[in-house]
Amino acid sequence: MKKASKIGVFDSGIGGLTVAKAIVETGLYNEMIYFGDIAHLPYGDKSEAAIQSYAIKISRFLVENGCDSIAIACNSASASATNLVKEYFVHNTPVINVIDPMVDHVLKNYPGKKVGLIGTKRTIDSGIYEKKILEEDPSIQVYSHATPLLVPLIEEDKFSDHLKNEIIREYLHGEKLVSLDALILGCTHYPLLKNELENYFGNGVDILESSTIVADKLLSEHVRNEPKTTECRFFVSDYTPAFERSARKFFGREINLERSKLFDSF
């Protein structure tokens, strides 16, 4: 067990804010720095090499700004870059991603069950969830489906409930995602559609999101004598009003976005 002090969290957009907020609410950390790589949104349609390059540059930025832990709050980056980031900072910076805690949760709670997975094309094509789950417990049935349009749907935040529900229905009505026991939201944006997904599936399907599962993982690994009030800073690689609105909504207060020049030379 170890004491926590300052954590860096990153994602390609607003989705990682769901994870960042849950981490802040643990009361573990004195400070949290969030980096939203808006300039390269979405990661889900980028190459593995590109995502790895972004992840290393952002992780180095976070460490240079005093972070002693890193949370990769993006499934595409978790699938493509976790091992590389760990190797790069192996000596002194713990790295947590959003995939491994979810896999552990599924293994513990759904043996012999049917589990669905939705995510970006990069995450689904990687096969990382299926591989990790089935290596440990072949009795779990995992059915995955790429749902890439959900990310821009969430980022824009301008679409009617009717259109959101129609897109969800079009993606999820196939045979693979019928009679599920649980559905993994394999993109940190997707909890922002949790109500719509719960309405679509109805009772009996557990909707599994990374934010609370990652927070529980951190709480199990760190000492928290007294809950801390966490100071937060927010960096973006490009400014968008939508990101600012979402950050304010998540954290319930004014947010000062700082534009980083990290990728200006790209």
* Residue showing tokens 């049917």: 114
Question: Is 187 designated active site?
Answer: yes
Q: Residue 111, Cβ neighbours under 10 Å: how many?
A: 11
* Residue showing tokens 């300039």: 39
CA angle 96, 97, 100 (to 5 degrees): 100
Question: Is 232 designated active site?
Answer: no
Closest alpha carbon to 96 in 88, 105, 85, 107: 85
Check whether the bond before 241 is cis (ω within 30° of 0). Answer: no
8 Å CB contact between 260 and 60? no
**Three-class secondary structure assignment of 40-88:** HCCHHHCCHHHHHHHHHHHHHHHHHCCCCEEEECCHHHHHHHHHHHHHH
8 Å CB contact between 70 and 7? yes
Regarding beta strands 257-259 and 231-236, do their DSSP bridges make them parallel or antiparallel, or are they unpaired?
Answer: parallel
Tally of residues, the chain: 266
Please identify which of the residues 55, 74, 142, 236 carries the catalytic annotation.
74
Question: Is the sign of the CA dihedral 182, 184, 188, 190 positive or negative?
Answer: negative
Please identify which of the residues 177, 187, 192, 236 carries the catalytic annotation.
187
- Structure-block tokens of residue 131: 């591989």
**Three-class secondary structure assignment of 15-48:** CHHHHHHHHHHCCCCCEEEEEECHHHCCHHHCCH
Catalytic site positions: 74, 187
